[in-house]
Structure 1
């Protein structure tokens, strides 16, 4: 229908309704001193401008000595794009808001066909066909949109961002491959797990001495045979490898109460842990996918869905030693009724293993630790509420083993804030944030400088409490430093060198404003 068509075309029809709604900066020079961008105009074609972050000066690219020295003179507006003028991205980024309509030319100078993919704003890669070797094609797009070129296995070979003016991208053997981890922007949380000192789950010990298997629902430890110590000479017979040895560590596992992988090893390879899970009730819910992408007929989808009061799976963490004498189990008094237990990690010294215990009913969220020497379970952090602990959206845990600290998110004050906790005692060293505003998410953690980038809401009393702002928060007691202050809702990205913050804010009655700020001080360097 006509109404459906208008709704489907809404993004395209309104894409260029606001000039410079999505300014995309391309950085160059030492420590990202300069950045160029396309500035849209109501009375003419876009102009390429250059920002000097040291002086705050903005010049036309044709008048900027730094730009001309880096890229050479600009082509005429009506010139055919002969050489590549769209730089390859170092990291694959999300497409920005749709800017002005434009056209790009992609040329494949490699010996294999490549896939052309549009990187959407939510991270999905939409296929736009293949580009054979030695060929080129023109593609309609919008300024700010990101395109990815990938091989037959969907591994990224290159990525670039379209500009307001016509552009060309050439893929050849010298094109740098991008990192497949997008630059962090607002909405992308810091992953505290990514930098844990714990080893990832694996069956073999870190030192290669033992391997763990689950057989008939029980735990079996296997000594990994060592190869001969010395290479035999032609006149000597080859020494036999050490024979394999096995030990059955448990015999009480059953189909309804089984020991299960994954397996987490201590860093020194002397101990490991895994879950034993008593199976809960199973109920099935069936959905019908009416229009699958890969077939014409509908498809039935069945999955587990427990009802309130049903018996859930009951995981208990078991700790074993390769000496075959150590076997500890999490204290059932500390973990009586789990909804989930996850974030298992070993302390860097291998003397304790931690887990995040989420109690059914969601009125308790605790970090529990089992001590290797004593087998005792203690609560390092014990968050309780008479109403609800928001384990899904207001949860952050980062363990700092070297300093016996942990960073924890909590609503215990009535406002969602961050706290520095002493791991060994559970005491609060200090609140990292406090006051009548809320922490929305932890954006990044700088271990070297012991600081956090934190998104907050309601920070400025005179502004709408739903406006999101960015703070730099110190672990060492300094007050939080606001990095944004514009009266609007913010998004942001960080320059490749980590020196500059690109902050964008808007309101329903305010067109988007783009600022460049110092990431270390929050000082506004210029408005572009």
Structure 2
């Protein structure tokens, strides 16, 4: 360690330090995304197949923004998918916000069946626009919301309209907490009498058997109706503040207990399914009938996330059988779970399991006793795209299959449903994003790396053969404007053997003869991995906006990096389990070694005296943890919207990684409990109206820091959500405050007087 410090000191003496940025440089960095976004051409995004499998549409970068185009398998010239001016006019009129044809506010859409309209999502609502007239409207159907998937909002209205049976002969509805079954004329055939406010039938759970012989639904014992109360201090439509309440279950709260109930029409029987196999539910979901109406299945996740079952219920006997039981001494990862009931032959189910230490596909029959592993090896299945029972194939993407490649790059594979004949359909040293056609005869693949712009191809599914190239991104103008791709870097983790992958972003005017202070962009949430692997740096996929934000910060005279340490997802089960009941770890032992290896490799990588760190949400929690628990290494931090004490955060994310019941492991991961350990410089930023993480978590950290007599900076954004800003103004302001903070405390330079009128 002494050798490394002396070596770093010699480098510091030999190389000049980057000069501090002026006001113009900071403003230019703040505008980087807007200046660079229009400079790409022929970047294809978000391809979508039509249901017939013969045509597809996609978003393509063009002069001034993006247009949607449509193309067919036959290779006819691409055509505009619709009249963009007309749609822009319709959305603008309906929303009161002005939209341009080249900058429509959605990434994907679907044609309606007759292709007379398109549907898409805008601000979490479903919209439809007619294509012949500028008529757009919100068509979101009213549904009773469920807070983080486990507690229903009983204050919301529920659609009470009847659900008709597939044969059109019967209608089922819930009224007064009970189920009513009526015939075509509305005559009552059956009515339950055991429903009440504390044990009610859920109308949104009704599932008819395909042959109309039976239906199932769930009876619900409601959980804790915990509400978070926020004050909107500066509403846009009135002077006085408003009070906002949100249903927000937290770790340890009682969840809704769902009891599946089978109702058979001919016998007029109402049978609750015996719950011995699902007696302690965190959630019961994905209730699905077999196509022959012989049975239904559902997924049971046990409280604590250490057991998951796929339950099979025989419709004739109402007997429940566990087709699959997944047990783990740490956690069963609900965030990456997959299963699909089979409809043919011995039926059964295909599911994803980490039981051998890696995520792989398994199959069992309807008895649950005949187990078969379909894939195996020191690599992981990432996404199941389709199961074709007629052809006997499973289509999926996987990463880590090619040991010489980045272990996060996804490739496309096919394996026989009976096991064997694993076929790789892509193999380039790049990340692949695949959209399989509905008939599984073709696929569209976009491959790229952070240093390789998108190439989009149409390929044949049988053997992966190329049919034609659909688009090849042109970034010549982006490159001429100064864009340089991030630099991947790999170092060994805490065990001395595992590769830890990250990215290094340098300033546009990078000078290898100078020394640059280092800032880490951290997100260590165990639900995913976060270092971008594909090219697009502008935010239409996970990690995109991080790259352009990292570049903007780097342009002010920093090296900015992002790392996936142990405890994040998409590697082995052991790699992931590091996070179990220890979110304070955040992969810091791996991250620090990675930084030290980079400093040993590059003379311009300056870590002596400590580095900077910033992050949002779980990344905000990790940012504070860095300053508390690793103050000799991290000395300046900007924490956004942090879940600083996991007992204060949402139930779903926290019980998954910290377990149940709530115990000392929650306090051990709390940075509020350890606030007195703060060293270095900290800026805390939070949106007043954060609906993802209770804003009180931030104020409790502030309170603890004050009680510990610690100095820190605090910025609360009125009306700000989890993403902090409610419009471009606050977002730009918040980013500028972050930039200023790092310039002052990491570069030791004065920042502009922004209050001075120019």
User: Structure 2 length as normaliser, TM-score?
Assistant: 0.44
- Which structure 2 residues correspond to residues 347-366 of structure 1 after superposition, within 5 A? 347-366=290-309
Q: Distance in 1 between matches of 2:303 and 2:47?
A: 47
Among candidates 90, 94, 98, match of residue 115 of structure 1: 90
- Greater strand content: 1
**Equivalent residue for 2:462?**
520
Residue 454 of structure 1: how far off its partner (Å): 1.3
**Equivalent residue for 2:227?**
284
**Equivalent residue for 1:431?**
373
**Equivalent residue for 1:408?**
351
**Equivalent residue for 1:340?**
283
Among candidates 217, 222, 227, match of residue 182 of structure 2: 222
2:148 matched to 1:206?
no
Q: Distance in 1 between matches of 2:173 and 2:41?
A: 62
Residue 298 of structure 1: how far off its partner (Å): 6.0
Q: Distance in 2 between matches of 1:304 and 1:500?
A: 44
- Which structure 2 residues correspond to residues 109-188 of structure 1 after superposition, within 5 A? 114-115=89-90, 129=98, 157=117
Residue 265 of structure 1: how far off its partner (Å): 2.2
**Equivalent residue for 1:472?**
414
2:341 matched to 1:399?
yes
Distance 1:349 1:294, change over 3 A: farther
Among candidates 10, 14, 26, match of residue 36 of structure 2: 14
2:180 matched to 1:255?
no
Question: Structure 2: which 5+ residue stretches go unaligned?
Answer: 1-22, 63-72, 120-130, 134-138, 140-160, 473-758
**Equivalent residue for 1:507?**
449
Q: Distance in 2 between matches of 1:496 and 1:245?
A: 41
Q: Distance in 1 between matches of 2:416 and 2:79?
A: 36
**Equivalent residue for 2:364?**
421
Residue 360 of structure 1: how far off its partner (Å): 0.8
Residue 362 of structure 1: how far off its partner (Å): 0.8
Q: Distance in 1 between matches of 2:423 and 2:434?
A: 16
Partner-residue secondary structure (3-state), 1:6: helix
Distance 1:217 1:401, change over 3 A: same
Asked whether the 8 Å contact 1:471–1:483 carries over to 2, the reply is yes
Per-residue CA deviations over 1:89-116 (Å, capped at 9, x if unaligned) read 39xxxxxxxxxxxxxx9676xxx99526
Asked whether the 8 Å contact 1:500–1:517 carries over to 2, the reply is yes
2:319 matched to 1:319?
no
Distance 1:467 1:410, change over 3 A: same
Q: Distance in 2 between matches of 1:497 and 1:258?
A: 41
Distance 1:472 1:299, change over 3 A: farther
Q: Distance in 2 between matches of 1:150 and 1:515?
A: 23
Residue 339 of structure 1: how far off its partner (Å): 0.8
Task: Point out the more displaced range, 488-497 or 4-13.
Answer: 488-497
Asked whether the 8 Å contact 1:282–1:304 carries over to 2, the reply is yes
2:279 matched to 1:304?
no
Partner-residue secondary structure (3-state), 1:401: coil
Q: Distance in 2 between matches of 1:503 and 1:254?
A: 52
Residue 7 of structure 1: how far off its partner (Å): 4.5
Partner-residue secondary structure (3-state), 1:407: strand
**Equivalent residue for 1:87?**
79
Asked whether the 8 Å contact 1:287–1:302 carries over to 2, the reply is yes
Residue 313 of structure 1: how far off its partner (Å): 1.9
Per-residue CA deviations over 1:455-485 (Å, capped at 9, x if unaligned) read 2111100111111212123313342221221
Per-residue CA deviations over 1:145-176 (Å, capped at 9, x if unaligned) read 9798999xxx97479xxxxxxxxxxx769xxx
Distance 1:515 1:337, change over 3 A: same
Partner-residue secondary structure (3-state), 1:115: helix
Partner-residue secondary structure (3-state), 1:419: strand
Distance 1:275 1:512, change over 3 A: closer
Question: Structure 1: which 5+ residue stretches go unaligned?
Answer: 41-52, 55-65, 72-85, 91-104, 118-124, 131-137, 160-170, 174-179, 181-200, 227-243
Q: Distance in 2 between matches of 1:371 and 1:148?
A: 39
Q: Distance in 2 between matches of 1:365 and 1:431?
A: 18
Per-residue CA deviations over 1:235-255 (Å, capped at 9, x if unaligned) read xxxxxxxxx3454433x3332
**Equivalent residue for 2:385?**
443
Distance 1:427 1:11, change over 3 A: same
Asked whether the 8 Å contact 1:418–1:431 carries over to 2, the reply is yes
**Equivalent residue for 2:480?**
none
Q: Distance in 1 between matches of 2:109 and 2:177?
A: 45
Residue 389 of structure 1: how far off its partner (Å): 0.7
- Greater helix content: 2
Task: Point out the more displaced range, 354-363 or 209-218.
Answer: 209-218
Residue 390 of structure 1: how far off its partner (Å): 0.9
